[in-house]
Amino acid sequence: MSQVTLDNVAATAGVSKGGLLYHFKSKDALLAGLLRRVGERADEQVEAVAAQGRSVAEWYLQAPHPEDETDAVELALYRSMLAAMRTIEGPQDAAQAETDRALAEVMGSWKTALDNEIDDPVRAEIVRLVGDGVYLRALLGLPPLDPALYRRVVARLLSDDRTHPPS
């Protein structure tokens, strides 16, 4: 039923199944490795944004663009992660617990970066949730929001002014 099999992953990667199993003892171990890589990429991105003096919150709220090569790679990585996660079945085992920990670390890393930048913990959580929704929308291939409207949403969300007139 699932297309995320060790055989399919090995064939796509151009390695033997035995070679894949040498590095990853199970599909759950492979998924945990994928999640660790996502976490490393997220940390690299947050560090790069901060080094450029850019806002982590604004970066987090950017809608990925599938036609942009870097965004396309990130979307493919996340689609792979989601597809693999959907294949986890049965009772919780040690490998699945490792996968859960790896996912929690990725999400925690982004949360920490936003909390460090935004003084208001409620606003930081709203930014995280909106960013998650924007990324999920892109992952699902839904049409993008109207760019002008989305810029207004981001501006309002990140504005220090707590009293916004209706637009």
Within a domain: 8:
no
Name the DSSP letter for residue 26: S
Is 31 within 8 Å of 80 (Cβ atoms)? no
Helix locations, the chain, DSSP H: 6-13, 17-23, 27-51, 56-60, 69-86, 94-117, 121-139, 147-158
**126: pLDDT strictly greater than 90:** yes
Residue 17 in any domain: the answer is no
pTM score: 0.69
Residue 22 inside a domain? The answer is: no
Give yes or no for residue 50 having a pLDDT over 60: yes
- Rounded to the nearest angstrom, the gap between the alpha carbon of residue 63 and the centroid of all alpha carbons in its chain is 12
- Does some domain include residue 131? yes
Whether residue 20 is contained in a domain is answered as no
Domain presence at residue 11: no
Query: Per-residue pLDDT for 163 more than 60?
Result: no
pLDDT tens-digit series, residues 140-155: 888 888 889 999 999 9
Domain residues for the domain of 37 are 27-158
Higher pLDDT, 94 or 58: 58
Q: What is the pLDDT of residues 2-32, one digit of tens each?
A: 566 788 888 888 999 998 888 888 877 887 7
In terms of C-beta density within 10 A (0-12 exposed, 13-18 middle, 19 or more buried), how is residue 167 classed?
exposed
* The pLDDT of residue 165: 46
Does the structure show a pLDDT above 80 at 83? no
Total domain count, the chain: 1
Residue 3 lies inside a defined structural domain of this protein? no
Domain annotation covers residue 164: no
Q: Which of 14-28, 31-45, 78-92 comes out lowest in average pLDDT?
A: 78-92
Quote the mean pLDDT of the chain. Answer: 79
According to the model, what pLDDT value does residue 147 have?
87
Q: Which single residue is written with the structure tokens 């199970």? A: 26
Q: How far apart are CA 92 and CA 9, in angstroms?
A: 23
| Mean pLDDT, residues 34-55 | 84
